[in-house]
Homo-oligomer: A and B are copies of this chain.
């Protein structure tokens, strides 16, 4: 576990950094899961600060979106996982596999909530035969698991530096296990705050309404948030899901995700300057009219700048 005291060191370090630092946050995949969309890649983002490439969530299609940003898989320094749902993590086998096959000069660092180490350990163990067969030539073993990846699990309150970036994690409300239960003690879904030399950016990951996320986002320049269009999703659910699951699904979707109205109120409460909605979950193909209506609903509670993300859009 990375200690919270790292935050103090991190903030001290910031004071000595050059003013010319440049931060870009790119939404690589703006679709939400668990069902993939045809028109948007699965949740993944890229934070670039002074040459460091930090991937934030790693959904299916990540490698193709990274290629569009001209970032090779081997040039990724860190991968942060907000939680272990597979729309956010499904691209990890491609991350590790493509790195194995392209000789990066160091292991990728993966940070995520409890369960991340087991996930990576399992994937790497599974890759064993493929790593032994490699390119189908004798004596062509390219790298060991240790050269491939290192994992650090993090929890609520963790704070650590990735190059010039201070990352702070807070437990959000995407999970709602029974209070005092084993599962509650074991698992967390996280939101992240990135303090860079020139910007402060908060990424909600998946969350319902959350005072912890509001506190984490206090006065941030940018709030990158998930969004669900519950009415349109429930229309689909009622048509396709088993009758006995519909009520539970609706409860899950409304408690564990945020509506445009909630986004506006959370952004206002946090006092952020700008909101970017991504991880768009809606029942059908997303139209410009729909994204404009979401922006309107956010605007009802928040008078700052608002954007509904497209894949590969920089912020």
Contact = CB atoms under 8 A, between A and B. Distances in A.
A170 to B, nearest CB: 16
A125 B115 CA distance: 11
A91 B60 contact: yes
Contact of A136 (B98, B114, B130, B189): B189
A94 B102 contact: no
A175 B34 CA distance: 36
Interface string A84-103: 11110111111011101111
A138 interface: yes
A285 to B, nearest CB: 10
B64 A63 contact: no
A2 interface: no
A175 B42 CA distance: 33
A64 B90 contact: no
Contact of A84 (B90, B123, B133, B137): B133
A101 B126 CA distance: 21
A129 interface: yes
Contacts of A186: 129, 132-133
Interface in A49-87: 59-64, 66-68, 70, 72-73, 84-87
Given A129-B118, A135-B256, A35 B98 contact: yes
A63 B42 contact: yes
6 contacts: A41-B64, A86-B96, A115-B130, A122-B125, A132-B187, A136-B177
Given A38-B70, A85-B97, 4 more contacts: A115-B133, A119-B126, A133-B183, A137-B176
Interface of A: 31, 33-38, 40-42, 59-64, 66-68, 70, 72-73, 84-87, 89-94, 96-98, 100-103, 114-115, 118-130, 132-133, 135-138, 140, 174-178, 181, 183, 186-187, 189, 242, 245, 248, 252, 256
